[in-house]
Structure 1
């Protein structure tokens, strides 16, 4: 089977001054320009690279899909998990192929009659999709994400949306009310996202209130899994919410850095590479 990337390379090659420029080369130049300037517009890229606006938009869509850039109104910037939270709807599109594979593995851990926690993680959106498509008897789903709750509203599950303060950028609900409620529960399994993973600092997010909520989920859950695509490794964020010995396991795509694989093996940390 021809790989998608190879097909794209053949499809999007262009002629420029008598030479052939493949899409891969052009996209690398786009990333380089964004690194140098911080932000670039579609028109600016079109002029600099000598291609149409339509071609640039296709390139940006592809680069966003694989997690290399974040599209903005009329242009693009580089992603920065460590310092900035992306809008939840944008996060869903980043590394979506990897996130869907992670979600498939996570789904297999859910058993009948489980109480399942899906925090405000874009990967958890895809777990919610699978739960909606493939019903599991007796499952109750708790989430602090409005978008995930809406996704499951017309499913056969009992859905509990945590109360508190809404964070508009992430569609998540946080605060003392959510934490108080969680501490009174005995939960079966939880899936948690993270914006950064460090050998020294463990799992991190960019917001203190999100971190406190994740800590409460971990404390109340019997089984707790981190769901994280490989772009999160070796990236630091504002506040830590868990160490490696606080969780049951990690579900990640196969692009995980080799030094982390060795680290997990050495420290006997359960990991599923999908």
Structure 2
């Protein structure tokens, strides 16, 4: 089984960290390696350009891939989004020089503009939909510098924080599309020889996402306080309660969001809970 992941760019490190958190660890390789064996039997990582991953997966050269949904749309690849990931969030925006007296898309209508972009297909569809007259300047590198060089008037490019745009004297005036990283597969993955292993891997991947930001809480509670403590606790279904031997006391266990832990501890302590233990959770398989 092959999993294609970015070999450079903003998605490379979070994609590798996610793969490792799932339990797949690269066994060898350096920045020049294209195919890396892993701790999973007969599973290797294919290190390729982020924008090439949709086409590689569509062709079946890799069973799964991690890439941005902006690249999927740009490639027009016939692939399926299997797991939405919690990183790689970004927006593709139309940005114009800050010096322009332009604040909205309507202010551009009627103008002939040159737009530099590496998202040629996305930009073409967007301009047609919005009724904007523009000549696209297809590039493969940094778009932000193109207006400064005089190669274009404005750009359509990815924006995470907007800092890079501001440094180059640009301001976003419209969002072309929202994007995020995903695990993708081709439409025939369920019929292939690796379908069972892929399905298991997808289950573990989803469990890894579900486990992020959650904590396991254990506590001991005397019988007289049990009802009050349980009423103070969140749970995915219901708290787990086990009687402690020889005493009118109980062990209570539940799962909670990390951000809620301070409030939960305050409530259960005031309700009589003791010996509270909080543990990290790696995965939650539903």
Q: Same fold (TM over 0.5)?
A: no
Q: Which has the higher contact order (CA 8 A, sep 6+)?
A: 2
Higher helix share: 1
Higher strand share: 2
Bigger Rg, which one: 2
